Structure 1
Amino acid sequence: MPQVHITVGDEGCQTANRLRAIAIVVDALRASATIATLLGCGVGEVWVVAEVDDAWQLKRQMADALLVGERGSVKVDGFDFSNSPTEIAAAAERLRGRRVVFTSTTGAKRLLACRQAQAVLVGTTVNATAVAQVARVLAERFTAPIVIVAAGVVGRGVEWATEDIAAAWHITDRIGLPVGQAPDRPEGDLIAVFGASLHGRELLALGLDSDVRWCAQTDIVTAVPRVAAFVGKAARVVAN
């Protein structure tokens, strides 16, 4: 029977690749929630890239694409939307049927670093049950472990992010398979854990409390983002 492992940061990506696992990339604040919300709003495809320059390059190739992303938790200058699930949800009518180019400080990079995994999904609390169900089906189909990659923070000495671990456990509980490698579960309810986390406090200081509350909700989105293909520097993500 396949096992579920909860791993952290770049090491987690390497583990998913080495095991040819079903990878679930969890960047709870906010990339995973934003990507799931985009697809839940009817976006046709999300092209995920690591760098802002890569996003602009894709935009030149896809003139109709909308640009979504942030650096330092703030919308990239010239982009259509920030990495904000509440902003995306409020613009659902404008987004339906469109394609999006997306970049973020951490989550985008983690997703792209899982290129050798058997399959790559995007999940967090907002689509926990849906992503858990898809991951289990894929794990049993491919006889592969599930590696949940708690994204952490790129560019800091400590990659650990409490909210990502909490969201990873939230998904794990719904998968229903034996748990292998995993850090301890953070104590407290989701809104408390998210709000007290380092990144949560940063978002609150920027006045983004609505995003923190949105991201701490459970099962408000049924879309399960899945990488359909890695193309050059990008990943094409669609609803499973």
Structure 2
Amino acid sequence: MRLYTYFLPDENIEPHKYYIVIDTLRATSTIATALSVGASHIVVAKNPEEAFNLKDNNTLLLGEKNALKISGFDYSNSPSEILKNAAVFKNKKVVLCTTNGSKALITANFRGITIATSLLNLKAVLQYLLAKKVDDIGFICSGNEGNISLEDVFTAGRMLSVLSKQDITYFNDESYIALNMANIPHTRILQYSTHAQKLKKIGLDKDLAICFNEGLLNVVPISKMNKNEFKSKIDI
């Protein structure tokens, strides 16, 4: 297997068969949660203006700027808000616009098949990749405003710790770094993550508790290349 990790979406990303985009706090956790409560699909917008243009009567706008809900949007980039209002999401299209995750997801999907992955749906994504025998994966971490995010690298490491046992594996340097973080306790990552502490400071403890609940959701948000439309477990 060829398993390459990229700590930020603006790195020199090589061609891969699949791209795993990670924004543990919180975009990919939000995507997984929205699909788990019955949203039909997720479209990622690069900015609020594009999101408003994509809205119709069956659309919910979700997003944040600097961790706070965007004015005029229905909800923030918040798994806890989604779960609290789960019935509203049934069969709805969701348009998501976030500070970091949107860039990473759009960057990856321009290059190939993309799966939005978080700790929440990590086990489901692993099962999907193993069942499909995917042998060439680029893990793209979203980071936080141009800085590396501890929780994203940790999530990549958790996946690498499983996938690397399947076959002869080729890593880049960043994959070795991520793999060495895989067995750090979740509580330690939560304690030292800069972004986690920022979210805690502004009262988003419920989101933190949900996002670090590994393996909770059985959804695989996947988009065909250049479609930028994430549905769960579509046949590719």
TM over 0.5: yes
Question: How far apart are 1:207 and its partner, in Å?
Answer: 0.7
In structure 2, the residue matched to 1:37 is: 33
Where 1:47 maps in the other structure, the secondary structure is: strand
Cα shift at 1:105: 0.4
Q: Is the 8 A contact 2:43 2:230 kept in 1?
A: yes
Matched-pair contact (CA < 8 Å) for 2:16–2:138 = no
Query: Partner of 1:110 in structure 2?
Result: 104
Worse-superposed segment, 112-121 or 160-169 = 112-121
Q: Deviations over 1:110-147 (max 9, x none)?
A: 0100134331001111111111122334453xxx5111
Aligned match of 1:152 in 143, 157, 176?
A: 143
C-alpha contact 2:42 2:96 (8 A) present in aligned 1: yes
In 1, the alpha carbon distance for the partners of 2:132 and 2:105 equals: 18
- 1:82 is matched by which residue type in structure 2? S
Could you tell me which runs of 5 or more consecutive residues in structure 1 were left unpaired when the two chains were aligned: none
Q: How many residues end up aligned between the 2 structures?
A: 225
Task: Please give the per-residue CA displacement for 1:203-235, whole angstroms capped at 9, x wherever unaligned.
Answer: 01001111111111110001110114535xxx1
The answer to whether the Cα contact below 8 Å between 2:114 and 2:225 also exists between their aligned partners in 1 is no
Deviations 1:43-62 (A, max 9, x none): 00111111111101111xx2
Query: How far has the Cα of 1:174 moved from its partner?
Result: 3.1
TM-score relative to the length of structure 1:
0.87
The verdict on how the C-alpha distance between 1:116 and 1:103 changes in structure 2, with shifts beyond 3 A counting, is: closer
Deviations 1:190-215 (A, max 9, x none): 13202321101100100111111111
Instruction: Return structure 1 stretches of 4+ with deviation > 6 angstroms.
Output: none
Match of 1:214 in 2: 210
Structure 2, unaligned runs of 5 or more? none
The RMSD of aligned alpha carbons is: 1.8
CA contact (8 A) 2:4 2:138 kept: yes
Contact persistence 2:38–2:89 (CA under 8 A): yes
Correspondence for 1:170 = 158
Contact 2:112/2:225, CA 8 A, preserved across alignment: no
Identity of matched residues, %: 25
